[in-house]
Amino acid sequence: MSQRSCLSVILAAGEGTRMKSAMPKVLHPIAGLPMVTHVVKAAEAAGSGDLALVIGHGAEEMRKAAAKFAPKAATFVQEKRLGTAHAVLAARDAISRGYDDILVMFGDTPLIDPDALSVARRKLAEGAAVVVVGFRTPNPSGYGRLIERGGKLVAIREEKDCSEEEKKITFCNGGLMAVAGGQALKLLEAVGNKNAKGEYYLTDIVEIAGMQGLVVVATQASFENALGINNRAELAEAEGIWQTRRRRQAMLDGVTLIVPETVFFSHDTEIGADTVVEPNVWFGPGVKIATGAKIHAFSHIEGATIASNCDIGPFARLRPGADLKQKAKVGNFCEVKQATIEEGAKVNHLTYIGDARVGAGANIGAGTITCNYDGYSKFFTDIGEGAFVGSNSSLVAPVTIGKGGYIASGSVITESVPNDALAFGRARQRTLPGKGKELRERFASAAAAKKK
């Protein structure tokens, strides 16, 4: 089958009014990726060399998005919404190029499994002209039924048109179709619109192909493959299914999830074996974690690279550009952004490190901040190997703390510190005996006077 050429036609022209959103429905994300992109990735994984994206509502926005998630896809606009067969024919120019296989998918079914597409393509290679992917359910109410006779699919019947006997059928239409490229245009052009809505239905090609003596078959996939998204409740349902799949795969790959249902992955999360993830951790896009890391509870990680045996959190936030080397530690209530924390360095608590480098083995005390922004521009802070920054210090960038440098607690550092130097940047302490008692008495008297 790898020798066969394949075009995937992805229908993404629906308005999605039930989403109640200005954004086209298929651009709403699952695991941080537009749902239509999940469909694109499945098509590519099943060997589809070319993509035709049929768009309508929000066409310009869709084109801009497609340039990112499917840069090689050709886009076609369905000017009028006259049914699914009409939508597929919007990509007539692409279909006519002579592909062996044509896959027709919907941009709002993000859970489609590439294996289901591969099975459908295999049936085409074996001689079928049309392959319909269906699913079985004990509660088929509302779904079109797949009518089979003698191992062949003879019709797709909408429930309102089913006989009482046909309504008992539990094999239902999943929407996805595979069509032999040499037959595709002929079958699509034969579809009429003599129905209550005056629309051209893709499902009609099943009976048309049968009447032409062509082989039509159905394959079975899970219900999840056909799960379409029409509103935000269904969007959340699909997100939940995707996350459940990903959590299971992570655990099978050797990752420990203490309470799996509280951990949320992004579409591109990479996480190594022997990593332990505690409850309530969120991974945004662009996270790569090597082996043996420990991610403590309530941490939020996005766009970060974490080397082996690092220790993160609890309540840590790693923002894009955070790069932690081996055995680095970022502790509770710390935030790191666009900064490298080198091997064995510790950023323990209540600290912000942004636009910076923390050298190997350095220790950053509680309450330290790198003052990297002046309201207009960002500046860099470089903290050398083995440096010690005392608690509640402010490092005003651009500034360098040399190797082995020592910053006294409570300092505001505005000038670079040489290697192995000790720097103070705070006001001199004065102690006035008895002054504390005097102040308390004065304040108490003032407060009592206000109450009169």
Q: Which residues are identified as catalytic?
A: 349
What residues have CB less than 8 Å from 431, skipping those under 6 apart?
A: none
Q: What letter represents residue 55's amino acid?
A: I
Strand 363-364 and strand 335-341: the pairing is unpaired
DSSP assignment of 320-350 equals: TT-EE-TT-EE-TT-EEEEEEE-TT-EE-SS
Looking at this protein, which amino acid is placed at residue 127? Answer: G
**17's torsion region: left (phi>0), alpha (psi -120 to 50) or beta?**
alpha
The answer to whether the beta carbons of residues 326 and 344 sit under 8 Å apart is yes
Q: Is 142 exposed, middle or buried (0-12, 13-18, 19+ CB in 10 A)?
A: exposed
What's the burial of 146, exposed, middle or buried (CB within 10 Å: 0-12/13-18/19+)? Answer: buried
Q: Where are the beta strands (DSSP E) in 300-424?
A: 300-301, 305-306, 311-312, 317-318, 323-324, 329-330, 335-341, 346-347, 352-358, 363-364, 369-371, 381-383, 388-389, 394-396, 399-401, 406-407, 412-413, 422-423
The CA distance from 249 to 251, in Å, is 5
Tokens 């991974």 belong to: 283
Cβ 52 vs Cβ 7: under 8 Å: yes
8 Å CB contact between 152 and 31: no
Residue 93's SS3 state is helix
8-state DSSP, 379: -
How many Cβ atoms from other residues are within 10 Å of residue 444's Cβ? 10
